[in-house]
Amino acid sequence: MKEISTKHPGGVALLAEPILNKGTAFSVEEREKYGLLGLLPPHVETLPEQTDRAYEALKAKDTDLERHIYLRALQDTNEVLFYNLVISHVAEMMPLIYTPVVGEACEKFSEIYRRPRGLFISYPQRDEIDRILDNAMNETVKAIVVTDGERILGLGDQGTGGMGIPIGKLALYTAAGGVDPSVTLPIILDVGTNNEERLKDPLYIGWREKRISGDDYFEFVDRFVQAVKRKWPNVLLQFEDFAQAHAEPLLAKYRDELCTYNDDIQGTAAVAAGTLLAACKMLGKPLSAHHIAFLGAGSAGAGIAEQLIRIMKDEGLTDAEARERIYMVDRYGLLHSEMDGLMAFQERLVQDHASVASWSSSSDGSVSLLDVVKNGMPGILIGVSGQHGLFSEQVVREMAKNTERPIIFPLSNPTSKAEAVPADILEWTDGKALIGTGSPFAPVTYKGQVHHIAQSNNTYIFPGVGLGVLASEATRVTDNMFMASSQALADLSPALKDPAAPLLPPVSDIRAVSRAVAFAVARQAVADKVAPDRSDEELERCIDAAVWTPVYNKLT
Ligand SMILES: NC(=O)c1ccc[n+]([C@@H]2O[C@H](COP(=O)([O-])OP(=O)(O)OC[C@H]3O[C@@H](n4cnc5c(N)ncnc54)[C@H](O)[C@@H]3O)[C@@H](O)[C@H]2O)c1
Ligand SMILES: O=C(O)C[C@H](O)C(=O)O
Ligand SMILES: [Mn+2]
């Protein structure tokens, strides 16, 4: 944690540093010593008093966007207070600083912009990246979340407005994972935007050009990655919300070169697998006994599918047997071996055309989701299409015909993009469905029974991965580490003790969940020899020592 030294100039400069500022909690003595006399109202508050006051101010706001703006301003003013407020009311705060409200904040980024945070690296500055990194406010950087803003949740290209996502993700590294905020750095690579609305908007504060693409794009990202490696060789670099054409190729290119992962591919896979493992345990039926249909064969869909295939193989299936159980439905129907124009990662997930051709009910021969549900009889349905409402009543009712307890996960974000809403799914399945959603949903009462909805969002994984990687000093992020995180999450499922309980622990338990995920990740990093050899007890100690909690430091 960054501390105030006696060399600090104090005064307004101290109040302007959110990581050091205590606001009204500066003691009389500190006010004297650091040139703060008269700069603050006279009453000295405690952190709990400040937190209560901030909470009241927040509640007085009329809309969630205003609450988001308030919280962001607080984060940029006094981080201890911000995190204390968020952690004290985490279930209420998470949707405001993260999904779904962060989506609207990205769309309106230019309108609501107040102060800078993190680094903006735009294409015209491609020769200055080393200098830009030198300008970071942090003394030390251990975790970066970077986006290029092209696929912000299911909201598409938001250009520089995408910066809201790395800020929100890193806020959860700290609030949920306990990572010291002073070592985290959000970055946007502004390579332009193809969003016409943004380009035409006189208020837009990004680089007003069409996106660069092809070799220019990959060369630019490479300049960035190489500069990061020079400046912070051991940093954890998380890629977030890149478009499909870039996400997987960038992961493949860099995963063996530095400590990096793609949250939409790997973090999502881990949370979906963890939630499904819990569902399978609860139903007493292994994952490999199910057929699984996906709507959306993109980064998230393929990431989850490959993780589920790994689990099925661990359960005893061959690779081919496992792949046969996975149906990937994209825009043009079920992926099959005769389809053109697939990305390499999709080609690994096709069905043999001969075995599915007869399923089509369409004159063009394509196999729709409904065709898949009727013929393939999946027990599990996962939505990662970014498209609202595609789990239609007909699809869901058809599924319920063939399966006693259909497992239905509309994972697309934000709320407006969910493939179906829990109330409808419960209605169409007569309360039988096991549900996981990407965005938070309120409990649903169906026929007198209250159903709490699991939020199967990668937020159950990435903060713990961050903490586990940093605490164990891992140098790479392996697939096994994500598998271990899935298992740790599944083991915490309340549904294992009470079949009527949700599949995942409540968001209010997120710090304990992240702690367990961190330990599992750290342990696997040691086992995979990507972290120094340490016993479980040593790892526990390292994690405890790494956890940051919001308390004001005594000034030296
Ligand atoms: N719950 C979570 O933790 C989580 C994590 C990652 C992504 N997501 C959500 O998943 C969605 C997709 O993310 P992604 O990274 O995979 O994006 P992506 O762009 O890589 O993939 C989306 C895929 O959906 C397909 N698609 C679009 N319209 C379709 C339609 N009408 N029918 C079938 N397929 C269609 C696209 O062709 C594409 O292949 C987003 O909404 C994102 O918010 C949720
Ligand atoms: O950001 C989220 O809420 C989850 C996920 O990373 C997404 O892109 O939707
Ligand atoms: Mn994402």
Query: Both 247 and 355 in a single domain?
Result: no
User: What pLDDT is recorded for position 3?
Assistant: 66
CA of 438 from ligand 2 middle (Å) equals: 7
E strand or H helix at 237, and its extent? strand 236-239
- Looking at the domain assignment, is residue 11 inside a domain? no
Query: Both 415 and 491 in a single domain?
Result: no
User: Is residue 158 lining ligand 1, measured as CB closer than 6 Å?
Assistant: no
Beta-carbon neighbour count of residue 46 at 10 Å? 11
User: Is residue 275 lining ligand 1, measured as CB closer than 6 Å?
Assistant: no
CA dist., res. 53 & res. 59, Å (int): 10
CA dist., res. 406 & res. 197, Å (int): 40
CA dist., res. 403 & res. 425, Å (int): 14
Nearest C-alpha to atom 6 of ligand 2 is from which residue?
264
Count of helix runs (H) and strand runs (E) in the chain: 25, 14
CA of 535 from ligand 2 middle (Å) equals: 34
User: What pLDDT is recorded for position 554?
Assistant: 77
Query: Both 231 and 339 in a single domain?
Result: no
Query: Both 536 and 440 in a single domain?
Result: no
The token duo for 31 is: 């006010």
Query: Both 186 and 326 in a single domain?
Result: no
- Looking at the domain assignment, is residue 113 inside a domain? yes
ipTM: 0.99
- Looking at the domain assignment, is residue 516 inside a domain? yes
- Looking at the domain assignment, is residue 45 inside a domain? no
- Ligand 1 atom with minimal separation from the 296 CA: 24
User: Is residue 386 lining ligand 1, measured as CB closer than 6 Å?
Assistant: yes
Query: Both 136 and 101 in a single domain?
Result: yes
- Looking at the domain assignment, is residue 407 inside a domain? yes
- Ligand 1 atom with minimal separation from the 154 CA: 41
User: Is residue 300 lining ligand 1, measured as CB closer than 6 Å?
Assistant: yes
Neighbour-count burial for 436-470, b at 16+ CB within 10 Å, e otherwise: bbbbbbeebebeeeebbbbbbbbbbbbbbbbbbbb
- Ligand 1 atom with minimal separation from the 153 CA: 43
Last residue of one domain, picked from the residues 412, 427, 457? 457
CA dist., res. 427 & res. 365, Å (int): 32
Query: Both 443 and 495 in a single domain?
Result: no
Q: What is the mean pLDDT of the chain?
A: 97
CATH number for the domain spanning 422: value is 3.40.50.720
Query: Both 147 and 204 in a single domain?
Result: yes
CA of 458 from ligand 2 middle (Å) equals: 7
User: What pLDDT is recorded for position 368?
Assistant: 98
Phi-psi region of 118 (alpha: psi -120 to 50; beta: other; left: phi over 0): left
User: What pLDDT is recorded for position 1?
Assistant: 60
- Looking at the domain assignment, is residue 469 inside a domain? yes
Is the distance from CB of 482 to CB of 255 less than 8 angstroms?
Answer: no
Nearest C-alpha to atom 20 of ligand 1 is from which residue?
298
Last residue of one domain, picked from the residues 414, 442, 457? 457
Ligand 2: lining residues by beta carbon, under 6 Å: 99, 153, 241, 263-264, 413, 438, 457-458
> Distances from the Cα of 165 to the Cαs of 151, 159, 222, 263, 532, in angstroms?
11, 12, 21, 12, 32
CATH number for the domain spanning 97: value is 3.40.50.10380
User: What pLDDT is recorded for position 543?
Assistant: 98
- Looking at the domain assignment, is residue 448 inside a domain? yes
Query: Both 398 and 480 in a single domain?
Result: no
Beta-carbon neighbour count of residue 58 at 10 Å? 19
SS3 at position 469: helix
Query: Both 366 and 435 in a single domain?
Result: yes
User: Is residue 246 lining ligand 1, measured as CB closer than 6 Å?
Assistant: no
- State which residues of the chain have pLDDT below 70: 1-6
CB contact set of 333 (below 8 Å; sequence gap of 6+): 360, 362, 366, 367, 368, 371
Nearest C-alpha to atom 1 of ligand 1 is from which residue?
438
Beta-carbon neighbour count of residue 138 at 10 Å? 15
Last residue of one domain, picked from the residues 258, 287, 308? 258
Beta-carbon neighbour count of residue 255 at 10 Å? 18
CB-facing half-sphere around the CA of 521: CA atoms within 13 A: 35
User: Is residue 296 lining ligand 1, measured as CB closer than 6 Å?
Assistant: yes
- Looking at the domain assignment, is residue 474 inside a domain? yes
Query: Both 349 and 214 in a single domain?
Result: no
Pocket probe for ligand 2: among 147, 240, 413, 416, the residue whose CB has the most ligand atoms within 8 Å is 413
Residues with CB under 5 A from ligand 3 (ion): 241, 264
**Domain range holding 492?**
460-546
> Distances from the Cα of 331 to the Cαs of 236, 241, 394, in angstroms?
34, 20, 18
Q: How does strand 326-330 pair with strand 333-334?
A: antiparallel
Is the distance from CB of 159 to CB of 190 less than 8 angstroms?
Answer: yes
Query: Both 471 and 375 in a single domain?
Result: no
- Ligand 1 atom with minimal separation from the 384 CA: 10
SS3 at position 103: helix
Question: Has this prediction a pTM greater than 0.95?
Answer: yes
The conformation of residue 264, written as its DSSP 8-state character, comes to I
Catalytically active residues are 98, 169
What's the domain count of the chain?
3
The label of the residue with tokens 């912009």 reads 113
Task: Write the pLDDT tens digit of every residue in 336-369.
Answer: 999 999 999 999 999 999 999 999 999 999 999 9
User: Is residue 271 lining ligand 1, measured as CB closer than 6 Å?
Assistant: yes
CA of 97 from ligand 2 middle (Å) equals: 13
Nearest C-alpha to atom 3 of ligand 2 is from which residue?
99
Nearest to 25 by CA among 52, 3, 10, 47: 47
Question: Where does 257-348 show beta strands of DSSP type E?
Answer: 260-262, 292-295, 326-330, 333-334
